[in-house]
Amino acid sequence: MAEGDSIARLAARLHAATAGRTVVASTFRHPRLALADLAGQRIEAWRPRGKHLLMRTSAGSTLHSHLRMSGSWSVLGPGKRLPRSVEARVLLRLDDDRTLAGIALPVLDLVRTRDEDRVVGHLGPDLLGEDFDADLAARRLRAAPDTAAVAALLDQRRVAGLGNLWAGELCFLHRVDPWRPIGEVDPGPLLAGARARLREAVVSNPRQVTTGDPRRPHWVYGRARRPCYRCGTPVAFRPAARTPHGRETWWCPGCQR
């Protein structure tokens, strides 16, 4: 699943490629949006919000999407078409003969821009937002103090932008046992580390390397039963079905006591 830094990079790429272009024709292959029409509307901006993506138009509309595990956006050159096997949920033909394609999008909504809170208002402070409120994020993280630290970090209602990779790696880097109740953890360093690393990933670390060595990019993520790079203890793993938050989790029992 795309994490906040990946969505921020995608939003910047789509903004650079399509902002200012006018939609000539639109096709929606989505039950709720089958009759929607963006023709004649100019694309004003693409903006990330946590793991959500917002495309705003000159008519005061916002096309909201969430990629989850399957979705993607692509800009097709003049005359280019997607293979028949590719599921395009939305196609926007632009005034320069390119086509903006939303592929296999599991979440797609069209709302008035003034009503964006209907689709993203439930989110906690955005770690990549210019208006990020660290105090509010800390209070939300600790609102249910018995929640496991890793589950609290992954709860987008508490703080927006972290996915499984970043949450697990942050717990390792700050020597936090992922199962320790968040009420027993100082959230300040975790939030500061998360914000710094996500911002770095947007600018210069698209591979999300957390170790500093691209040959072995992650400390614990995806490394079940392999020796910890720091202490040699086999990395522990718990499948999604055995976690309270329903996500696979990796950690080092030696470093994260």
- 23 lies in some domain: yes
Are the C-beta atoms of residues 173 and 193 closer than 8 Å to each other? yes
Place of tokens 């957390």: 210
CATH assignment of the domain containing 200: 1.10.8.50
Same structural domain, 148 and 170: yes
User: What proportion of the chain, given as a percentage, has pLDDT over 90?
Assistant: 95
Token code pair at residue 237: 């793993």
Domain that residue 87 falls in? 4-120
Same structural domain, 146 and 115: no
Q: Is the pTM of this model over 0.85?
A: yes
d(CA 30, CA 150): 34
Condensed to tens digits (0 to 9), the pLDDT of residues 54-109 reads: 999 999 999 999 999 899 999 999 989 999 899 999 999 999 999 999 999 999 99
User: Domains in the chain: how many in total?
Assistant: 2
In Å, how far from its chain's centre is CA 42? 26
Averaged pLDDT of the chain = 97
pLDDT value at residue 1: 67
> Is the pLDDT assigned to residue 47 strictly greater than 80?
yes
Condensed to tens digits (0 to 9), the pLDDT of residues 170-207 reads: 999 999 999 999 999 999 999 999 999 999 999 999 99
- 226 lies in some domain: yes
> Is the pLDDT assigned to residue 163 strictly greater than 80?
yes
CATH assignment of the domain containing 78: 3.20.190.10
Q: Edge-to-edge strand order for the sheet containing 107-112?
A: 43-49, 52-57, 61-66, 107-112
pLDDT value at residue 72: 97
Same structural domain, 34 and 115: yes
Same structural domain, 85 and 143: no
